[in-house]
Amino acid sequence: MTSAVSPADQRGAELPEFPMARAAKCPFDPPPGLRDKQREGPLGRVRLWDGSTPWVVTRHADQRTLLGDPRVSADLHRPGYPSPVPIAPGSGAVSFILMDDPEHGRLRRMVTAPFAFKRIEAMRPAVQKITDDLLDAMLAGPRPVDLVQTFALPLPSLVICELLGVPYGDHDFFQDNSKVLINREVEPEERLAASKRLAAYLGDLVGEKAAHPADDLLSGLVGRVETGELTRDDVAQMGVLLLIAGHET
């Protein structure tokens, strides 16, 4: 028994899968397949996990032009939006980076407001202590030292824990899951699972902040839950976004 394959299906099967695998030499180099696409031209089709074949824009100037065009949407819920990984049902609120204005701007302003100079300057002693503790642990540990794993990665994660108001005893949980989120070798499903674990934890922490508010970012956002401006899922998703952004920075 045989089954006919349409020309469209055949063309889709011949397209490169996206996201593309990176080379082993340097994790920050573009994938070799993307380099091939750049040489072919500014636009090219790729195949996603669901069989869809969207266009990929390969050149920086064109990407900037498109991202600055209000006709281009970041809204995950628009029909035909090309999601590079499966979105699990019940995965919580959608990050505002996957929204269009005016909702994007409204939520973004809520997150950026606490980063005023005075607030950040007040965190200097806590950041200094985190830095000193990491350096002391490096000096007391075996040699040679992996500077990235022992200092560069945990520092922003621990600072964000301080900013969000995460209890110190839960820092290891945050560290373990945040490492999964930024590991480019991990399968998308594993990153999604880590994101859901963090969102669930932060959702519980939001409840605790509602009952016992403190001088931290989550407590401030919880106040907006009480006014109806945000939901608890919104606040949890903002916390996950800040954690990822801190590591990427």
Question: Would residue 121 count as lying in a domain?
Answer: yes
Question: Would residue 15 count as lying in a domain?
Answer: yes
**What pLDDT score does 114 carry?**
80
**What pLDDT score does 244 carry?**
73
53 lies in the same domain as 143: no
DSSP string, 200-248: HHHHHHHHHHHHS--SSHHHHHHHHHHTTSS-HHHHHHHHHHHHHHHHH
The count of structural domains within the chain is 2
Nearest to 34 by CA among 48, 49, 16: 16
53 lies in the same domain as 124: no
120 lies in the same domain as 51: no
234 lies in the same domain as 111: yes
135 lies in the same domain as 214: yes
Q: What's the alpha-carbon Rg for the chain, to the nearest Å? A: 21
51 lies in the same domain as 127: no
Question: Would residue 135 count as lying in a domain?
Answer: yes
39 lies in the same domain as 131: no
118 lies in the same domain as 233: yes
Between the CA of residue 14 and those of 7, 53, 71, 224, what are the distances in Å?
A: 11, 11, 30, 49
Between the CA of residue 233 and those of 14, 95, 113, 182, what are the distances in Å?
A: 40, 10, 19, 22
Q: Identify any residues that bridge with 217 across adjacent strands, giving them in sequence order.
A: none
120 lies in the same domain as 238: yes
Phi, psi of 56, rounded to the nearest 5 degrees: -115, 130
195 lies in the same domain as 118: yes
Q: Identify any residues that bridge with 221 across adjacent strands, giving them in sequence order.
A: none
Q: What is the CATH number of the domain that holds 234?
A: 1.10.630.10
**What pLDDT score does 247 carry?**
62
Question: Would residue 46 count as lying in a domain?
Answer: yes
AA letter at 55: W
Cα–Cα distance between 241 and 31 in angstroms, integer? 25
**What pLDDT score does 172 carry?**
81
Domain span including residue 42: 1-21+33-59
Listed as ranges, residues in the chain with pLDDT below 70 are 1-13, 27, 86-93, 184, 246-249
Cα–Cα distance between 214 and 221 in angstroms, integer? 11
Q: Which bin fits 51, alpha (ψ -120 to 50), beta or left (φ > 0)? A: left
121 lies in the same domain as 43: no
**What pLDDT score does 126 carry?**
93
User: Number of C-alpha atoms within 13 angstroms, CB side, residue 210?
Assistant: 15
46 lies in the same domain as 134: no
**What pLDDT score does 248 carry?**
61
Q: Is the dihedral of CA 230, 233, 235, 241 positive or negative?
A: negative
Question: Would residue 95 count as lying in a domain?
Answer: no
**What pLDDT score does 11 carry?**
52
**What pLDDT score does 185 carry?**
73
**What pLDDT score does 9 carry?**
46
Return the SS3 of 103: helix
